[in-house]
Structure 1
Amino acid sequence: MINTGNYQSVGQQHDKTVRLVLDNGKVFQAKEPKIDDVYQVVKDCSKCSGKPFLTE
Structure 2
Amino acid sequence: MSIGGSENQLTDITEEEIAKNFKVEISQEYVVVFYSIMLGTTLALRPWFHRFIF
TM over 0.5: no
**Which fold has the larger relative contact order, with Cα–Cα distance below 8 Å and residues 6 or more apart in sequence?**
1
Higher strand residue share? 1
Query: Looking at CA atoms only, which structure, 1 or 2, has the larger radius of gyration?
Result: 2
Q: TM-score, normalised by structure 2?
A: 0.25
